[in-house]
């Protein structure tokens, strides 16, 4: 096994258990899978993976220097993450309410979370794909806790961590995990009636608010 392949395997082994933890991005991806299905929702997972790769590259390059700069402001970053998660939860609730108001009988199940605006020369499908990808990449990059976690892994890691192969493996792990969350949403969306799905989306928003509170008091 070459060094690069070994480092890729290390990145996958590092990323899978770290990224599979349920968090705000996971809940949002499940919601995308519920409403859009696996194929139409896959750009969201790709956006998260791109964000993860960018963060992995940043911490791999900066390494210990980044860790020493982040340590004194860890509490402030945690509060910022709590505010971000709370904002996502509020957005989720408003999204469910808007969908219910425009579709009171529950006949429409695939209203996109990031609704594309129409425009000349670009189909709504293309805009929706780009907006999903870019939106989830931005959410991933905006979460300061993700940066802290990645920095801790690189600073405390052994041989192979922080290499190009490790970054590649982390990206592959991110793709697999986050496509899995969309798959979960697709299965749930296919099995539950619309009324139950609406309740499930409110529950997911409540879990996000609970996570925000936990970050604030933790």
Mean pLDDT for the chain overall: 83
Report the interhelical angle of 24-62 vs 144-156 (nearest 10°).
50
Kindly tell me if the per-residue pLDDT of 144 is higher than 90.
no
| Position 192 confidence tier, pLDDT thresholds 50, 70, 90 | confident
pLDDT of residue 102: 61
Could you tell me which residues are beta bridge partners of residue 119?
Answer: 122
Judged against a pLDDT cut of 60, whether residue 143 lies above it is answered with yes
The ranges assigned to domains in the chain are: 3-217
Interval 50-96: pLDDT, tens: 999 999 999 988 877 887 888 888 889 889 989 998 998 898 888 88
Among the ranges given (65-69, 161-165, 174-178, 213-217), the one the predictor scored with the smallest mean pLDDT:
65-69
Q: How far is CA 141 from the centre of its chain?
A: 9
pLDDT at residue 178 greater than cutoff 90:
yes
For the segment 151-175, the average pLDDT, to the nearest whole number, is: 88
Residue pLDDT, tens place only, 199-212: 888 888 898 899 88
pLDDT band for 121, please (50, 70, 90 cuts): very low
Residue 156 banded pLDDT, cuts 50, 70, 90 = confident
Q: Between vectors from CA 142 to CA 140 and to CA 143, what angle results, nearest 5°?
A: 70
Phi/psi at 105 (5° precision): -90, 0
For residue 125, the model assigns a pLDDT of 57
Q: Which residue(s) pair with 122 in the sheet?
A: 119
**What is the three-class DSSP state of 183?**
helix
């Amino acid at each position: 096994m070459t060094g690069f392949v070994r480092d890729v395997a290390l990145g996958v082994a590092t990323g899978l258990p770290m990224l599979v933890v349920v968090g705000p991005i996971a809940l949002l991806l499940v919601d995308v899978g519920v409403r859009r299905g696996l194929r139409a929702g896959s750009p969201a997972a790709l956006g998260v993976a791109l964000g993860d790769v960018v963060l992995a590259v940043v911490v791999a390059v900066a390494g210990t220097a980044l860790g020493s700069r982040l340590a004194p402001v860890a509490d402030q970053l945690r509060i910022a993450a709590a505010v971000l998660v709370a904002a996502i939860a509020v957005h989720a609730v408003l999204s469910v309410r808007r969908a219910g108001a425009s579709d009171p009988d529950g006949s429409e199940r695939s209203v996109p979370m990031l609704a594309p605006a129409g425009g000349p020369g670009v189909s709504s499908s293309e805009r929706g794909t780009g907006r999903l990808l870019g939106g989830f990449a931005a959410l991933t990059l905006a979460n300061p806790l993700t940066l802290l976690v990645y920095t801790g892994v690189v600073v405390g890691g052994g041989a192979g961590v922080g290499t190009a192969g490790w970054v590649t493996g982390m990206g592959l792990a991110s793709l697999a995990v986050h496509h899995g969350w969309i798959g979960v949403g697709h299965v749930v969306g296919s099995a539950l009636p619309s009324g139950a799905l609406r309740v499930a989306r409110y529950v997911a928003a409540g879990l996000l608010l609970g996570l925000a509170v936990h970050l604030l008091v933790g």
